[in-house]
Amino acid sequence: MLALGARLARAGGARRGLRGLAGGTPAPPGEERMVAAEVVEGGVGVLRLDRPKALNALCGPLMRQVLGQMRAWEVDPAVRAVVLAGKGKCFAAGADIKEMAALDFPEAHKGALLEAWDEMSRLKKPVVGAVHGYALGGGCELAMMCDLLVCSEEAKFGQPEILLGTIPGMGGTQRLTRAVGKALAMDMCLTGRRLGAEEALRSGLVSRVFPTGEHEEGALALAREVAKFSLPVAAMVKECVNSAHELSLAEGLRLEKRQFWSTFALDDRKEGMTAFAEKRPADFRDR
Ligand code: CAA
């Protein structure tokens, strides 16, 4: 049996393309590639939104490529955690306004406009969002779908949909309110006011702020830290914490207790506690 370090090195390797493909899973034939994906040391998949000429606006093809890559990494044993970031000037300036502009209600309704993004919140592997520049509208909402969210000190978060005559449609009214509270969420959604990094940290929207240009390294370090632990345990943490927004306290506590007891069916729980008692690092096997 390989030690954890060796298994991670084997799983993550040095920087490499996924299954030998330089940019991860390929875009469908004829479709422009709008994400850049790589698996780096420590078993971390790094997915960068890569449509800089439109400030990474979340058009249909970009959405399909993000979800396709996330789906592939969910079942890839080489990937234990994911960093989601943006290439170019910013994380993402929102859903693609030009793509949506001509739609009418039946088209939005029948086509379930933007609903596919919900899959992000059902992923089992931990996702660290790394925001720089703008995270506006759908960009802010996508960032909030990540489990851990960090940013650089010049980051700007906002829900400016009201300026366009619409409302957030990827969870902004719900996740933002739960993250920062009603007062600030109303302020942002009703006026389109943007939140800087320090205010985002203070209000609980992000957990860490890094100097400009260092947010990806910071997110990567965080992802590598999480990637060292037991994957099934990390998935249980995700489910329990995310459920805190959806369940009553009594239901949430019941779920937590059941999941806590479930960890006693894992070799990793036994290994973690035995390693502590034996004063050595734990060797988690995801079992
Ligand atoms: N959709 C489509 N294209 C966008 C875009 C978006 N959300 N945001 C920026 N772009 C495009 C611009 O149209 C421009 O393209 P062209 O060069 O072809 O004209 C290019 O990206 C660069 O943008 P700017 O020239 O505007 O760059 P800037 O630095 O002057 O301004 C900005 C940056 C303040 C972010 C400005 O681009 C902006 O306000 N963007 C829109 C932000 C927004 O309203 N987001 C919410 C979208 S709706 C939504 O997301 C709904 C939802 O809930 C899911």
Structure-block tokens of residue 224? 């590598």
- Mean per-residue pLDDT over the chain, rounded: 92
60 is catalytic: no
Nearest Cα neighbor of 128 from 40, 15, 20, 251 is 40
Collect all residues with Cβ–Cβ distance below 8 Å to 249 and sequence separation of at least 6. Answer: none
Report pLDDT digits (tens) over 239-277: 999 999 899 999 999 999 999 999 999 999 999 999 999
Query: Is the CB of residue 215 less than 8 Å from the CB of residue 132?
Result: yes
Q: Check residue 28 and give its pLDDT.
A: 79
All residues at 6 or more sequence positions from 27 whose CB lies less than 8 Å from its CB, including other chains: 33, 34, 61, 65
Q: Which amino acid is at 26?
A: P
Give me the pLDDT at residue 11, please: 38
pLDDT of residue 17: 36
> Percent of the chain having pLDDT more than 70?
91
Ligand 1: residues with CB < 6 A are 54-55, 57, 93-98, 114, 134, 136-138, 141, 160-161, 164, 168-170, 172
Number of Cβ atoms within 10 Å of the Cβ of 113: 17
- Does 138 qualify as catalytic in the annotation? yes
The per-residue pLDDT for 109 is: 98
Which of 11, 141, 219, 282 is labelled catalytic?
141
Would you state the pLDDT for residue 24? 62
Structure tokens at 200: 């985002």
Indicate if the pLDDT at residue 7 is higher than 50.
Answer: no
Give residue 206 CA to ligand 1 midpoint distance, Å. Answer: 23
Give the pLDDT confidence of 142-192 residue by residue, as tens digits: 999 999 999 999 999 999 999 999 999 999 999 999 999 999 999 999 999
